[in-house]
Amino acid sequence: MDSTRGIPSDTAAILSASLEGILYGFSVLMFMGAIWALTYNHRMQDVNRLIIAVAILLLILSTAHIVVNIIRVQDGLVKYRDSFPGGPAAFFEDITQKTYVIKHALYILQTLLADGVVIYRCYVVWQRVCVIILPSMLWCIVAVTGVSAVYNLSQASRKPTDIFTMVVADWIMAFIISTLVTNFLSSGLLAYRIWMIERSVSTVRATKGSMMPIVHILADAAVFYSVALFARLICFVYSNNGEEVLVDMVMPITSITFYMVLVRVAINGKTRSYLSNIPRGANTEGNSLQNPMKPMSIHISQFTHNDGT
């Protein structure tokens, strides 16, 4: 084995399945907490169905991914252990395996869904299409590079078994960088807008509530997810097998960061009453809240600013 590749591919497969299983279990707990936060003491018509649908889709994709990963480990270590040329290590390095392509396709879908939700939140908070033009363009780049990477994987032959020497490596590199930038930019715009609202009403609000915990949790979630992506990028650049471990870990991490925002917003129960007490015509710095006579809802979880109408 080439020492530059880090841990052996079969060891990486076992490690990735184990770590993904641990994180997946935690994400399931977070999912239950998020659903509780969205539905507890809420009337059916007040439940944010869109966010619930996204939460369920993330759980489905994470579940499908870990099932495929377990099947892949079972195939490499048990089913084809003695019949596959080169043994388990060669099996896990074979990118033409259907399980390899399928689990990466699931990863692409989950990334597109999660990034799309962050962009949607930006639009709801800013109420400006121009703000999300750049994030939306980046999201399209994520989609193109991700689909192209999966397509090239599906068309690969067994001769160039090293993924890092194939053309698909360029698509994967572009995908990682574009989703990293998209997440960072969208989360930054979202947190900045909430901070602007907090700053504009901090001297006139009637309650002691604050939206800064929301900014903090958005920042924490963005950093958590970005660190995982950046670590994967480094491993990929240096052709290290640890990249496969990180790919499988990012799946539940994506779900966890989404759920933790919902749960944290629910815990910060003061936010609801705080927003409901924002006075008419409260302005952000140099920019009024879009149409103060119109209710504004921020779909981070479900908390609404009503101006009394």
Give, as one character, the DSSP assignment of residue 303. E
Q: How far, in Å, CA of 55 to CA of 262, rounded?
A: 10
- DSSP string of 209-257? --SHHHHHHHHHHHHHHHHHHHHHHHHHHTT-THHHHHHHHHHHHHHHH
The residue count for the chain: 309
Q: What is the pLDDT along the chain (309 residues), one digit of tens a residue?
A: 454 567 888 898 999 999 999 999 999 999 999 898 888 777 777 777 888 899 999 999 999 999 999 999 999 998 888 888 888 888 888 888 889 999 999 999 999 999 998 898 888 888 889 999 999 999 999 999 999 988 888 877 655 555 555 678 888 889 999 999 998 898 888 888 888 877 777 665 555 556 677 777 777 788 888 888 888 889 888 888 888 899 999 999 999 988 988 887 777 654 444 444 444 344 433 343 333 333 334 444 443 444 444
pTM comes to 0.79
The pLDDT tens digits for 190-228 are 888 888 877 777 665 555 556 677 777 777 788 888 888
Q: How far, in Å, CA of 213 to CA of 218, rounded?
A: 9
